[in-house]
Amino acid sequence: MPRFAQLVMGPAGSGKSTYCSTMVQHLGTLNRSAQVVNLDPAAEHFDYPVMADIRELIQVDDVMEDPSLRFGPNGGLVFCMEYFANNFDWLDESLGHVEDDYILFDCPGQIELYTHLPVMKQLVEQLQQREFRVCGVFLVDSQFMVESFKFISGVMAALSAMVLLEIPQINIMTKMDLLSPKAKKEIEKYLDPDMYAMMEDNSDNIRSKKFQSLTKAICGLIDDYSMVRFMPFDRTDEEGVNMVLQNIDFSIQYGEDLEFKEPKEVDDDSGDLNYDEAFQDKVDS
């Protein structure tokens, strides 16, 4: 049986831990079990239990305090992740093997991990070798995406992760519940944007013709190939959370291996059929 994983990514402060907490609670209401693995060696607090924590293997504070290394916070975190990549056995021992595993990996926020460093790509390959179907979930703070050029920057960050990891990816605007009604209405145009129109609206703000051409080419690439779209995530909206989950499940084909029960045979002469009993819509897990 396959196993399933969400790789929860995004810049620092984009709401990755809050997303994991909300999604685990939502899955619980659907009678589905899910576990969280913390892969952020600089994390400080969780409001949910984790099945594995990278800080049991290595911590940023220990690396920074090592006089032989002399790393700062960013260099220390990158060192921790490279150390993790050389010790995937720890992850094997922590995950074990239980059928129908559904695991959320809460990842660090350093952008280098999703642009040019090989650590996250190696993690994806390791999970795929262990029969995991992996979906990337890239989060961007909706409060950051209220201006066109900031939006384009967020799009490029999401696109870099898609290109590096080569897995299905759902891009999400988080913290929608913190926006004012006016800001929510304004941000709707960024969920399914017209990149050319966005470029024209802001062309006067770019003085350099070279940068105008570069920005136009980037917008054209994104728009012509429909490469990046965002879904809103409001943790107080159960229907919205479920819509995000359905898109993720579809991308990793969750539930496609379940077998449906055959309908019960019924007597044709029976004048009062109970269709709830005749056709069972439950599945064998």
Query: Domain extents for the chain?
Result: 3-192+229-284
Q: Is the pTM of this model over 0.95?
A: no
Measured at the alpha carbon of residue 23, what is the angle toward residues 18 and 28, in degrees to the nearest 5?
130
**pLDDT tens digit at each of 285 positions of the chain:** 789 999 999 998 999 999 999 999 999 999 998 999 999 999 888 888 899 999 999 999 999 999 998 899 899 999 999 999 999 999 988 888 766 689 999 999 998 999 889 999 999 999 999 899 999 999 999 988 877 788 888 888 999 999 999 999 999 999 999 998 888 888 888 887 777 777 776 666 666 778 878 888 888 888 877 778 899 999 999 999 999 999 999 999 998 765 544 444 545 554 454 434 444 444 444
- What homologous superfamily is domain 3-192+229-284 in, according to CATH? P-loop containing nucleotide triphosphate hydrolases (3.40.50.300)
